[in-house]
Structure 1
Amino acid sequence: MKRLFEIFSLSFVRRTSTLIALLVVTAACEHKPLCWHHPHTGMLKVDFAWWDAPEGEDLVKSMALYVYPKDGSERKRIDFVGTSGGIIELMSGDYDFLCLNSDTETLLYEGTDSHKTFNVYTREAHPLSGMEVRAGDFDLSESYENIKRAEGTEDERVSREAEDAYGHAVEDVYVHGDPGVMQVVTLYPKNLTIHIHVVIEDVGCLETVQKISGTISGLAGKVAVADAKRIGEHNIVPFSLLQTDDTTLEGHFIAFGHCPDDTRKAHKLAVYVVTEEDDHRFFEFDVSDQIEKAPNQRYIVVNVKGLDICGMKDMGVVVDPWVGTPPIVIPMN
């Protein structure tokens, strides 16, 4: 009888232990679903490598990363202070990434829903916006159809100058989300803009000038961030001209490059002058060779000589208030 009681007790203990173990497992399963019921999140180190534009590492103050999930879900923007990048957390999956410096004030964006259509441009401007204009001198809000243009540039949009822009894109990055593993994605920002430096020498009667500015035509209206391609219609960009000595004027501005979509069109330098006698003078130079054949396409120097402001007298009241001179073709030096 005692032996039977011992066997029964041992069997009861074993069955009770098994039941308790099953209850524990069941409870654990209820509170901790299996991992394939939800996606993992992964840690991703974003690194900006400035090999293609080393000057940008010192100039740029902040960067924006645009994250495009390839499953079609909404893109997101993540901002970084400085130019090094940082660590972000993303759901596991496939992504495209685009980066662009975010420390600009005048650049506008379009096509931001995809890295392939993300373009940068600037707003429309007045041809005389390069002048230091006092209130009442010109109404820049009015139509500028009567402002003289260089020959062949009448249909070009006038846009304000750009700011230094740096960007790049990478495609098909898989974030695996493995626990404890830090992935790295590297983007290589490129300079999306060019600098144009204009030097006008041997300027006659410079002392009679009250206001002066210039424009250059045939420049790109937009740039694609992903591949730095110049796109859009040909644009005219106004810029300021400053006197640097008794007979020299200089100007400098930033643009999105020239010859958008590799289409060729003449590059005309137009100079607008208002004299102390309130005469309006207009000078035109063809500087196509200097721009298209410049040895450094990132920093183009345009140099012209012989602008005689006193060479023409006011022709009286005309529909076009700007007194023009025949175009001058400036070859490469």
Structure 2
Amino acid sequence: MIHVVGKLGIVLLLSLLVQSCEHKELCYDHAHVVDLDIVFDWSEAPYAKPRTMVIQFFRMDGSYYATRELASPAGGKIRIEADKYKVLFHNGEMEFVGEIGDTYATYELTTKPQSILAPMGRSELNALPPEATANQPVRNIPEIVWGGKLEYVDIQEGKDDQSVTLVLREITTEYTIEVLNVENMSPELDVSGALSSMAECWRIEANKPSGMLVTMPFELQRCYDEKKLIARFASFGHCPDSEDKHTFFIYTSNQTYYDFDVTNQIHDKSSGLKHIHIVIDGLKLPSAEGGMSPSIDGWNDVEDNDIEMN
């Protein structure tokens, strides 16, 4: 009889524990976790076409809480625990942009490693000497990025129809490079470019460039009728910590390269902070048939290139 009572007591105790657990789970699902409508405001970037949107939630002490991703750039509904948060947000599904940092203050969007000659598609060429990349790590140019921050949002328990509006602005800077009056352009001579002392990352909380100084390679489009080379690309800006020298490099499949000091043009703020326009007037490329004989390291730096920089 004692054994029977003991077993009944254990069963009763387990039943109470299960009910208690179920009650806590029910309470968690319906009281602490609430629906929140996310609305993205694109009024400051009306032509943006992001693939997805990423929202990073941080606790008020700056520690990471959770990530939500929405398929629609208009926004959508999420489920989240009622609490007070700081929020960082940006577009997602980017091939050349990564995410690093696990606090509100250290979360960054970062560029990814790249081969200096990848835009030319000539990886079989000898490696460039260090001075031809400004002795800096080489990183890919990022996609266009839009983002922003919200320093405080209070998501309340037991309240219906809660929403938050997140205003997006373009984070990246647009660079346009034009090389005018180019001689010896030929379909048989491949060319590409690179720009030094660019920002590796963007820190959304601080709204500024960050990370190391890097060199970024990019394609140069050949405009034969206009005798012009042109490039347009996005970046996270330049000089994250101090003003540095910027060199524009041009590489050719004949293993010659050219370097131009474009520091003043990049630091000139007359065209605005989000649009940088660099112009080089005058460039004589090597002949596609013969070209110059490579030096002992496989590349020639053309130093006698008479140019006028606008």
Answer yes or no: same fold by TM over 0.5: yes
Cα–Cα, structure 1 residues 171 and 85, in superposed 2: closer, same or farther, change >3 Å? same
- Which residue of structure 2 aligns with residue 46 of structure 1? 38
Could you tell me which of 52, 55, 63 is aligned with 2:47? 55
Contact 1:71 1:94 in 2 (8 A): no
Q: Which amino acid aligns with 2:114?
A: A
Could you tell me which of 295, 314, 323 is aligned with 2:300? 323
Contact 1:127 1:147 in 2 (8 A): no
Contact 2:280 2:309 in 1 (8 A): no
Contact 1:157 1:235 in 2 (8 A): yes
Cα–Cα, structure 1 residues 238 and 71, in superposed 2: closer, same or farther, change >3 Å? closer
Aligned partner of residue 130 in structure 1, secondary structure: helix
Cα–Cα, structure 1 residues 314 and 329, in superposed 2: closer, same or farther, change >3 Å? closer
- Which residue of structure 1 aligns with residue 263 of structure 2? 288
Q: Deviations over 1:270-301 (max 9, x none)?
A: 11112xxxx42211111112212141332222
Q: Which amino acid aligns with 1:297?
A: L
Contact 1:214 1:270 in 2 (8 A): yes
Q: Which amino acid aligns with 1:242?
A: Q
Contact 2:185 2:224 in 1 (8 A): no
- 1:146 equivalent to 2:129? Answer yes
Count of residues in correspondence between the two structures:
283
1:203-242 equivalence runs, <5 A: 203-207=182-186, 210-242=189-221
Cα–Cα, structure 1 residues 61 and 268, in superposed 2: closer, same or farther, change >3 Å? same
Contact 1:273 1:282 in 2 (8 A): yes
Aligned partner of residue 321 in structure 1, secondary structure: coil
Q: Which amino acid aligns with 1:127?
A: I
Cα–Cα, structure 1 residues 96 and 209, in superposed 2: closer, same or farther, change >3 Å? same
Q: Which amino acid aligns with 2:176?
A: H
Is the deviation greater in 250-259 or in 212-221?
A: 250-259
- Which residue of structure 2 aligns with residue 306 of structure 1? 282
- 1:162 equivalent to 2:142? Answer yes
Q: TM-score, normalised by structure 1?
A: 0.75
Contact 1:218 1:234 in 2 (8 A): yes
Q: Deviations over 1:139-194 (max 9, x none)?
A: 7xxxx4636516xx22x111011111111121232212234x32222221221211
Q: Separation in 1 of the partners of 2:306 and 2:71?
A: 47
Q: Separation in 2 of the partners of 1:92 and 1:329?
A: 65
Cα–Cα, structure 1 residues 330 and 173, in superposed 2: closer, same or farther, change >3 Å? farther
- Which residue of structure 1 aligns with residue 152 of structure 2? 172
Identity %: 24
- Which residue of structure 1 aligns with residue 87 of structure 2? 97
Q: Deviations over 1:240-264 (max 9, x none)?
A: 1121124211122221111113x11
Q: Deviations over 1:113-137 (max 9, x none)?
A: 222211111221222122033xx73
Q: Which amino acid aligns with 1:84?
A: A
Q: Which amino acid aligns with 1:162?
A: P
Q: Separation in 2 of the partners of 1:46 and 1:229?
A: 25
Could you tell me which of 253, 269, 272 is aligned with 2:248? 269
Contact 1:283 1:327 in 2 (8 A): no
Query: Please, what is the CA RMSD of the aligned residues?
Result: 3.1
Larger radius of gyration: 1
Structure 1 residue runs of 5 or longer lacking an equivalent are: 1-29
Q: TM-score, normalised by structure 2?
A: 0.80
- Which residue of structure 1 aligns with residue 168 of structure 2? 189
